[in-house]
Structure 1
Amino acid sequence: MATDGADLSLDTAALARDGDRLVRRHLAAGTSAVASTTRRLEQRLEAATQSAVPGRLWRAWQSTTFPKSGPARNPSGTIWIKGGARTRAAIAFWTTPGTIRGRQGQYLAIPLPAAGNKPGTGRGRDARPTPVEWEAMHNQELTFVARPGRAALLVAEDAVLSGRKQIAKPNTGRRIAAGRGSATIPIFVLLPVVQFRNAFAIGPMITASEGEIAREFFAAIRGTAAGRG
């Protein structure tokens, strides 16, 4: 192309290659920012849960990102709770304020350490027996004990604490003959209402992560521009 006697030439192929590299750098920066921020948020949720909640509930947090490799125009990160309704309810219990009430005015039975676990289960919330399950396990009825001004109890009469974990079991004639005395052992605390713990909040962590995506993206773009310079 000639203008005022000067010849200008444009290498359109080179321009196209440079434009493609620029687009790919931006897409790669965005994809990397989403992936790393998603993983950090998952780690923070795990750490917060592990710090506030006994047991292994923190392992319920899972994450995935799209794409698994290479840049994308619409990268995404997803964090979810692995497990069933009880696991999701446990997360809600520890992260949102509120109350749990028994159905039709009934008590909520909270198992004490002496209640032990159901046979063949681990140490999670699902492992703890209900009063009906405990009675079926030990072939013994629990006794209701009212305590004015204090929480009521379900107790096991003529029982003993057994093993390193001191789990309640019905006493037997053999133990009694050996001099093992019986005791009344509390198995469940009965509460009309249980307050949600709200031990940590998820929302602020998500909000902080949203800002991190933008900061990490622009830092990566500046880095690539400086490298070219």
Structure 2
Amino acid sequence: MRLKAAIVGRLDEAMRREVDGGEKAVGSALQSVALGLKADLREQVRAAGLGDRLGRTWRSETYPRRGAALSGAALVWSKAPKLIRAHDTGPVIRSPNGFWLAIPLPAAGKSGLTASGGKQRITPGAWERRTGLKLRFVYRRNGPSLLVVDNARIGRSGLAAANVSRRKGIVSTRLAGRQTVPIFLLVPQVRLRKRLDVEGAGRAWAARVPGLISEAWPQ
């Protein structure tokens, strides 16, 4: 018995069609991975309570940008890498000048305003300038030390304010309702809680690449 095998059609054309199919499959798989990973990372940021604005800093790109190739690549990155890295690694934060870190308490408010109307991190000095009140240092042996304001009151908004009353242009100090209000906690350092898992999401999507290529490659 003799068996004979023969190629039907031109071999170079068949190989070219196979390569074309592979290039398109790789491009399709990498596009799916890039978009899927970007969506997952944006959702991680939102689920961590870090806001849509930070989530939208994630971007994606596939290479080559034009055409197709068997050696393509996908890139996903953030336009706010320092913020993402901080919430991904949970670093220890210390004051750059070796002093205390001042953490605003609810009575301090969340942020200050710049001259152009933008937001900036509230500091003890900025808080004093904004309110006209003086802060006093309170050392505590068994807990974080404090910066407090004396003879103040808590307004309806929950913020500390001067304990004065204004009636018909007359400003007078209130005798009732005066209290000492904690404004800042003072700590030597803080550790951010790890809220994101960027590497885990990347590994999960990378593991899907072979299957996605196989699905998109014409049989």
User: Which bin holds the TM-score, normalised by the shorter protein?
Assistant: 0.7 to 0.9
What SS class does the counterpart of residue 207 from structure 2 fall into?
helix
5+ residue gaps in structure 2? 1-5
Q: Residues of 2 paired with 1:27 and 1:212: CA distance?
A: 17
Matching residue within 150, 160, 165 for 1:168: 160
5+ residue gaps in structure 1? 1-7
What SS class does the counterpart of residue 183 from structure 2 fall into?
strand
Residue 48 of structure 1 deviates from its aligned partner by 1.9
Which protein, 1 or 2, shows the higher relative CO under an 8 Å CA cutoff with sep ≥ 6?
2
Q: Cα gap change, 1:141/1:23 in structure 2, threshold over 3 Å: closer, same or farther?
A: same
Matching residue within 67, 86, 99 for 2:92: 99
Matched residue, 1:118: 112
Q: Are 1:33 and 2:25 counterparts?
A: no
Given that 2:88 and 2:197 are in contact with CA atoms closer than 8 Å, whether structure 1 keeps it comes out as: yes
Q: Cα gap change, 1:64/1:114 in structure 2, threshold over 3 Å: closer, same or farther?
A: farther
What SS class does the counterpart of residue 77 from structure 2 fall into?
strand
Residue 55 of structure 1 deviates from its aligned partner by 3.5
What do the CA deviations read for 1:174-210 (whole angstroms, capped 9, x no partner)?
Answer: 2775968443222211111212312332222211221
TM-score by length of 1: 0.74
TM-score by length of 2: 0.77
Backbone CA RMSD of aligned residues: 2.9
Question: Quick one: percent identity of the two aligned structures?
Answer: 31
Given that 1:156 and 1:170 are in contact with CA atoms closer than 8 Å, whether structure 2 keeps it comes out as: no
Greater strand fraction, Structure 1 or Structure 2: 2
Matching residue within 110, 128, 133 for 2:126: 133
Q: Are 1:89 and 2:86 counterparts?
A: no
What do the CA deviations read for 1:148-188 (whole angstroms, capped 9, x no partner)?
Answer: 20111112333333454x23333444277596844322221
Q: Residues of 1 paired with 2:163 and 2:59: CA distance?
A: 45
Matched residue, 2:192: 196
Q: Cα gap change, 1:205/1:161 in structure 2, threshold over 3 Å: closer, same or farther?
A: same
Q: Residues of 2 paired with 1:10 and 1:65: CA distance?
A: 36
Question: Comparing 47-56 with 33-42, which one deviates more in the overlay?
Answer: 47-56
Given that 2:163 and 2:173 are in contact with CA atoms closer than 8 Å, whether structure 1 keeps it comes out as: no
Given that 1:108 and 1:191 are in contact with CA atoms closer than 8 Å, whether structure 2 keeps it comes out as: yes
Q: Cα gap change, 1:101/1:132 in structure 2, threshold over 3 Å: closer, same or farther?
A: same
Equivalenced residue count is 205
Greater helix fraction, Structure 1 or Structure 2: 1
